[in-house]
Amino acid sequence: MVSKRKGRRNLLVSIVDDDDSLRTSIRRLVQSFGFKALTFESARQFLTSKHAHSSECLILDVDMPDINGFELAEQLLSGSRKFPIILQSGNTTEADFQRAKTLGVALLQKPVDAETLLRTLNRLCRLIREQ
């Protein structure tokens, strides 16, 4: 069973995924954990939004057209602002896990179960609080 602990978290999690149903499901799940959540259908939509600078954690689909999740993570992490990123993919390889490790981001295999997502978000929240 997933422990929600509402009220403890007030972080903004931005979800970038080109699949509308997955984007909506992940948003609902993240909100059920007590986080604020916004969704974007593409990396470009996220990058041009006012929330690109106010998001405190990102959940990115790896397999997106135009700019994929790895490319977006690399672009964001190359700037001065560092924040936690969770990548998700239905087709992960060992090379993907190594690339994620090198970038310092989490990589989860789709479909991601609620417990795994919550555990990963909690771990990343601890990192945010320690900064």
The CATH number given to whatever domain includes residue 72 is: 3.40.50.2300
Tens digit of each residue's pLDDT (9 = 90 or more) over 28-71: 999 999 999 999 999 999 999 999 988 999 999 999 999 999 99
Q: Is 58 helix (H, G, I), strand (E, B) or coil?
A: strand
Domain count of the fold of the chain: 1
Residue 59 lies in a domain: yes
Return the bridge partners of 16, or none: 40, 60
Residue 52 lies in a domain: yes
Q: Which pTM value belongs to this model?
A: 0.90
Give me the residue label for tokens 């601890």. 126
Alpha helices in the chain (DSSP H): 20-32, 43-47, 69-77, 94-103, 114-130
Predicted pLDDT of residue 53: 87
For 68, residues 6+ apart whose C-beta sits below 8 A from its C-beta are: 43, 62
Residue 6 lies in a domain: no
